[in-house]
Chain A
Amino acid sequence: MYEITVPKLNSNDAGYVLTEWRYADGDVVPAGAEVAVVETSKAAEGLTSDDGGVLQHQVAEAGECRPGEVIGRLFPNEEQRQRFLAADAGPRPERAATNLVITEPARQLIDRYGIDAATLDGLGKTVIGRADVQRLVDQSQLVDQSQAVTPSRPDGDGRRIHRLTRSQLAVAEVVTASHSTIPAAYAAVIVAVDRAVDVLRAYSERERVSARLPELLIRCLADLVDRFPLFFATALDDGTAALADEAKVGVTVDVGRGLSMPVLGGAATASLSSIAAALAGYRAKALRDQLTAADLAGATIGVSLPAGDVVFAQPLVPPGLACILALGATHTVPHLGEDGVLAPRRIAYLGLSYDHRLINGREAALFLGELKAAIESPERLRALTR
């Protein structure tokens, strides 16, 4: 596969506009042909591709693109393009499907009273503010669901009863299955992240994305499929395990609307910025309750991102996976250097819950060691943030 990237056309524009594709999706582009036209603030420039192949657009016409960004791909044949499309369908962030604009104060109220999308649609408004939601609450005498114990009717013994939300019931089902079927063990390493944090910050500013340690971890993780196949496997009952061809990384997302684990595919070939964009897309969808079954299906490994300042977490392995990583919050500790000098160092705990039926402690240590080395490696960081 050949990636069509945008060269730096002048030194003043942070981005250009892709004005025209000369070929459609699925067209065969000859080598050396002008494949697209991009417009800078100064001029329109044709982009030629040295290689030929079957074209798949990444950026749509009239879309914005930045120097170095992949705007399309050329495949040796149609079959490979279709395979790419199938793999890529998951993580691509979509624009919001709903036409509603909801303010944050309104959103808080909607969450508190558990108001669903259909009710909001019923308001017949496109812009929804706090007052609109308050009116709904007042009219329908809705119940504040943010209270740990709802003021609903007492049971026979006079105790107050809290009813779990639907999404929490789903979580309960998964963790119960995990607890009863997967004999999990746990290991953790300390990763020094000073360099990575700085490099990622500069990269994010340059690329105008928010690529942090989770994105880097996901990217590095994807490279380990071939060397550690059992970590990406599904345990079967008959003493076998089904191996995966690809790292499809399920990432925990909880934006206050319930815990979910959307899946990022294609991370092995993706840039950090596209992983960041895909993750941001998922968070946005989660916020609007728009994650689909396709978004959540097909994970071959998990990454848990504990919220807030939690430095150390031991996640339950979701049934169907062999293991799940947990990346704790970055924090500063005193570090005794080889020269005996104390200096501050930023670290994060990287933990691994693993199905002990498939994986033993030695492999877990090797696997964590590989990830630690990758995240700490200056060369790897340079290559990924070029």
Chain B
Amino acid sequence: MVDGSQSERVAGNLNRALRTVLAQDPRAWVLGEDVADPYGGAFKISKGLSGLYPGRVVNTPISEAGIVGVAGGLALSGDHPIVEIMFGDFIGLAFDPILNFLSKSVAMYGRRVPMHVVIRCPVGGNRGYGPTHSQSPQKHLIGVPHLGLYELSPFHDGTALLGRLLASGEPSVLFENKVLYTEKTFVDGVVDDLFSYDFPASPDGYARVFIEDPGTADVVVIAPGGLATRVLSAARRLFLRHEINCQVIVPAQLYPFDVRSLPPALAEAGRVVVVEEGTAGGGWGAEVAAGLYPYLWGRLAQPIRLVTSRDSVIPAARHLEDEVLVQSDTVYQAVLETAGV
């Protein structure tokens, strides 16, 4: 696979990002269950790395609390560990070290202690993996002081993103929707014959996907990277069938979520849909909407519409899983209703 080429896919992009971090930063580590070759991680994201950096790409025992605890210790000692949680569903096992050790260490010793640590979590369903290997647990980690939440997208380059997270000095969790791994990364501001994109706030800020003119939109859809393909497919149909012009905002950083950097099209459209794959209730979308309401007060034509997966266990049977999780049609319907067509 050629670096930066148009055919690069998200998994390859992320593999290259890890390789670059390990090459440029002698204090970087990659820790996780079966991350070393020949297995190279459950999703092959760390493929080929242990051969190049045998001392710093380390297989761990099957203990998420242990792995994250070790990463916390390394970070306290000034090292830069990157942890892979094999399935993001297992993050619950590491919640205590994340809550009481990694994030607290930044600010509880009387002086600021930088914690350069990233926890990577493959998340999401639509693969038939069943109730405990398909979840989107982002919402369970929202609101922990000094813990940044991020999500991989086909727009944001993995190398820049990992570099930013490691440099932030606060622990970060990077959610990676599994369906993204085999999808193509977008380059040069072009999605397809209809959509273009840019990064108006900053090069590592949210991606803004638009049709022709980024200044106008009928509806603005805010969705994390894992949903980008589903949302864009809905947006394409909405435009071709109904000429509803959706602008799609794909943030790299989920929390804290910077509402004020969002584009003016949001206020002008007055119609906002926030999409997440997590199940209904106490979700990221509600957090985003709570941030948006004061900012858009008086300019909304419709209440902000939240789209989530159903309040349900995620079935293993694909046809039932389809019904529970957010799909392109779910987004299509929600936008159609919000647009008032």
Binding site for B on A (CB under 8 A): 11-13, 17, 19, 39-44, 62, 99, 101-106, 126-127, 129-130
Contact B127 A101 (CB under 8 A): no
- Interface band, chain B: 20 to 34
Whether, in the assembled complex, B239 has its beta carbon less than 8 Å from a beta carbon of chain A, the answer is yes
Task: Give the docked Cα–Cα distance between A386 and B238 (Å).
Answer: 35
Given contacts A12-B127, A41-B127, A42-B42, contact A101 B240 (CB under 8 A): yes
Given contacts A43-B44, A101-B240, contact A12 B128 (CB under 8 A): yes
Cβ-closest chain A residue relative to B212: A127
**What 10 A-B pairs come out closest when comparing CB atoms?**
A62-B7, A101-B194, A12-B127, A103-B240, A103-B243, A41-B182, A104-B241, A101-B193, A129-B243, A12-B128
Given contacts A42-B43, A43-B44, A127-B194, contact A103 B129 (CB under 8 A): no
Q: Mark B205-225 against chain A: 1 for CB-CB distance below 8 A, else 0.
A: 000000110000000000000
User: Which residues in B have their C-beta under 8 angstroms from that of A12?
Assistant: 127-129
Cβ-closest chain A residue relative to B238: A103
Given contacts A126-B193, A127-B212, contact A103 B241 (CB under 8 A): yes
Task: Give the docked Cα–Cα distance between A44 and B240 (Å).
Answer: 36
Whether, in the assembled complex, B178 has its beta carbon less than 8 Å from a beta carbon of chain A, the answer is yes
Cβ-closest chain A residue relative to B184: A62
- Given A44-B44, A103-B240, A129-B243; 8 other pairs, CB 8 A cutoff: A12-B128, A17-B9, A40-B182, A43-B44, A99-B193, A103-B239, A103-B241, A105-B243
User: Which residues in B have their C-beta under 8 angstroms from that of A39?
Assistant: 182
Task: Give the docked Cα–Cα distance between A12 and B241 (Å).
Answer: 32
- Residues of B253-291 contacting chain A, CB below 8 A: none
Contact A104 B240 (CB under 8 A): yes
User: Which residues in B have their C-beta under 8 angstroms from that of A17?
Assistant: 9, 182
A-B contacts, 22 listed (Cβ < 8 Å)? A12-B129, A13-B182, A17-B9, A39-B182, A41-B43, A41-B178, A41-B181, A41-B182, A43-B44, A44-B44, A101-B194, A101-B240, A103-B239, A103-B240, A103-B241, A103-B243, A104-B241, A106-B243, A126-B193, A127-B194, A127-B212, A129-B243
Task: Give the docked Cα–Cα distance between A126 and B211 (Å).
Answer: 10
User: Which residues in B have their C-beta under 8 angstroms from that of A101?
Assistant: 193-194, 240
- Residues of B1-54 contacting chain A, CB below 8 A: 1, 7, 9, 42-44
**Chain B: minimal CB distance from A252 (Å):** 26
**Chain B: minimal CB distance from A16 (Å):** 8
Task: Give the docked Cα–Cα distance between A83 and B7 (Å).
Answer: 32
Task: Give the docked Cα–Cα distance between A126 and B195 (Å).
Answer: 11
User: Which residues in A have their C-beta under 8 angstroms from that of B7?
Assistant: 62
- Residues of B229-247 contacting chain A, CB below 8 A: 239-243
User: Which residues in A have their C-beta under 8 angstroms from that of B239?
Assistant: 103
Task: Give the docked Cα–Cα distance between A113 and B240 (Å).
Answer: 19
Task: Give the docked Cα–Cα distance between A127 and B128 (Å).
Answer: 37
Task: Give the docked Cα–Cα distance between A119 and B276 (Å).
Answer: 42
Task: Give the docked Cα–Cα distance between A12 and B44 (Å).
Answer: 15
User: Which residues in A have their C-beta under 8 angstroms from that of B9?
Assistant: 17
Task: Give the docked Cα–Cα distance between A306 and B181 (Å).
Answer: 44
User: Which residues in B have their C-beta under 8 angstroms from that of A19?
Assistant: 1
**Chain B: minimal CB distance from A290 (Å):** 15
User: Which residues in B have their C-beta under 8 angstroms from that of A13?
Assistant: 127, 182
**Chain B: minimal CB distance from A62 (Å):** 5
**Chain B: minimal CB distance from A65 (Å):** 12
User: Which residues in A have their C-beta under 8 angstroms from that of B178?
Assistant: 41
User: Which residues in B have their C-beta under 8 angstroms from that of A11?
Assistant: 128
Cβ-closest chain B residue relative to A99: B193
User: Which residues in A have their C-beta under 8 angstroms from that of B243?
Assistant: 103, 105-106, 129-130
